[in-house]
Amino acid sequence: MDAVCTSVELSTGLRGEARLVVQHADTAEALGSGTVAVLGTPRLIALCEAASVMALADQLPAGITSVGMRVQLEHLQPSAIGAHVTAEAVLDKVEGKRLFFTVSASDERGLIACGKVTRVQVDVERFLDKARCPGH
């Protein structure tokens, strides 16, 4: 097992939610991922990851966190500036240090995205040590 990874017992079914009112800074145009002023896929991915982090709130002991490893997302519908978007994450499976979530996002008109997020439990200090550039 990698030195930065750890494993804490977690139960499937944990749920988290993250909300956003789409602003210009959240658009594909502002993020450089497109040329239209609708919710950008990178911001939608971040919202779904935030929901998975919320599912783990108060579940991990001090010094342990989770980091994103993989995201698979289908962005199905556009959301305009001013839309209220809610992302939800459900912990479906735990395999050692890996945490597998099903995620979805909706706005006032219905489902706008669905997919999977995988996170990995890590020891914060060891993880940050590994991330540092040599000589810094």
3 found inside a domain: no
Comparing 2-11, 87-96, 108-117, 121-130, which segment has the lowest mean pLDDT? 2-11
135 found inside a domain: no
Spell out a b/e string for 87-124, using b for 16 or more CB atoms within 10 Å of the CB, else e: bbbbbeebeebbbbbebbbbbeeeebbbbbbbbbbbbe
pLDDT digits (tens, 9 = 90+) for 37-79: 999 999 999 999 999 999 999 999 999 999 999 999 999 999 9
The pLDDT-based confidence of 1 (bands split at 50, 70, 90) is: very low
101 found inside a domain: yes
CB atoms within 10 A of CB 65: 17
pLDDT digits (tens, 9 = 90+) for 72-113: 999 999 999 999 999 999 999 999 999 999 999 999 999 999
98 found inside a domain: yes
76 found inside a domain: yes
Residue among 49, 43, 103, 54 nearest 79 (CA): 43
Q: Using an 8 Å Cβ cutoff, are 105 and 117 in contact?
A: no
CATH number for the domain spanning 43: value is: 3.10.129.10
Q: State the total domains in the chain.
A: 1
7 found inside a domain: no
Range of the domain at 81: 15-130
Q: What is the pLDDT of residue 136?
A: 62
pTM for the whole thing?
Answer: 0.91
